[in-house]
Amino acid sequence: QVQLVESGGGLVQAGGSLRLSCAASGRTFSGYLLGWFRQAPGKEREFVAAISRSGLSTYYAASVKGRFTISRDNAKDTVSLQMNSLKPEDTAVYYCAAQSGTRYNTAERYDYWGQGTQVTVSS
């Protein structure tokens, strides 16, 4: 089992920045591909970003590429999402997730999920 706990959400004005963090406990953290997803009210959960086990490969949704940066620290069992140039359409509950596979943009492939943290971007 892997337990994931997100933090860092909040309210920010458009154009601002937030940094989300996700702390993991349980099984070997470095053995999992990690991802961030988000879900806005009335919408399906969507892929945001993912990072490989080593941290050398990163993947982004087109809507956030160039604005968001995912990173991980396997020594501290944490994964972060730096979000810059935030837009009102980024408003959602953000979830971190871990999987033992490679389908980084497919929510159903993730084995473990955090409880989510709310990000609200005002215009």
Report pLDDT for 113: 97
**In the prediction, which pLDDT does 1 show?**
84
pLDDT band at 89; cut points 50, 70, 90:
very high
pLDDT at 41: 92
| Nearest-angstrom CA–CA distance, 76 and 93 | 24
Find how far residue 38's CA is from the centre of its chain: 8
- For 84-97, b/e burial (b = at least 16 CB within 10 A) is eebeeebbbbbbbb
- Residue 46: CB atoms within 10 A of its CB come to 14
Express as a percent the part of the chain with pLDDT over 90.
93
pLDDT > 80? residue 10: yes
Q: What is the dihedral of CA 14, 19, 25, 29, to 10 degrees?
A: 110
| pLDDT tens, position by position, 19-74 | 999 999 887 788 999 999 999 999 999 999 999 999 999 999 999 999 999 999 99
